[in-house]
Amino acid sequence: EAGVAQSPRYKIIEKRQSVAFWCNPISGHATLYWYQQILGQGPKLLIQFQNNGVVDDSQLPKDRFSAERLKGVDSTLKIQPAKLEDSAVYLCASSSLSGGAYTQYFGPGTRLTVL
């Protein structure tokens, strides 16, 4: 079974530029998550989708971050404009219901550097 795919793996941009990340979840996983992991910290949830609907975006900085999952499969996360503090690894995860609860599986992440 293929895992969660993400691209690009690395991205370097200057502040005030825009950037987009792509995620393809594990086949059949209806729930998809985007996390931000700043160096030295654990991942922090930004947004969670169930199919193509948003379940939780309470920690998404909506003035600059946006995400969509139009057909309930692939998802994109966009930052516009980027700030220096957005430098982080952006992780995508998807989950399935197993044993009575959801277990999340993570992709390799996109490492963003904002100069």
Partner 1 sequence: AQSVSQHNHHVILSEAASLELGCNYSYGGTVNLFWYVQYPGQHLQLLLKYFSGDPLVKGIKGFEAEFIKSKFSFNLRKPSVQWSDTAEYFCAVGSGGYNKLIFGAGTRLAVHP
99 binds partner 1 (CB under 8 A): yes
Q: Contact with partner 1 (CB under 8 A): which of 17, 61, 74, 102?
A: 102
Choices 14-22, 36-44, 64-72, 74-82 (CB under 8 A): range interacting with partner 1: 36-44
1 binds partner 1 (CB under 8 A): no
Shortest distance (Å) from residue 77 CB to partner 1:
17
Nearer to partner 1 by C-beta: 64 or 105? Answer: 105
13 binds partner 1 (CB under 8 A): no
Between CA 24 and CA 27 the distance in angstroms is 8
Report how far apart, in Å, the C-alpha atoms of 74 and of each of 4, 8, 48, 60, 98 are.
10, 14, 13, 19, 22
Shortest distance (Å) from residue 81 CB to partner 1:
27
14 binds partner 1 (CB under 8 A): no
Report how far apart, in Å, the C-alpha atoms of 21 and of each of 1, 97, 101, 109 are.
22, 26, 28, 9
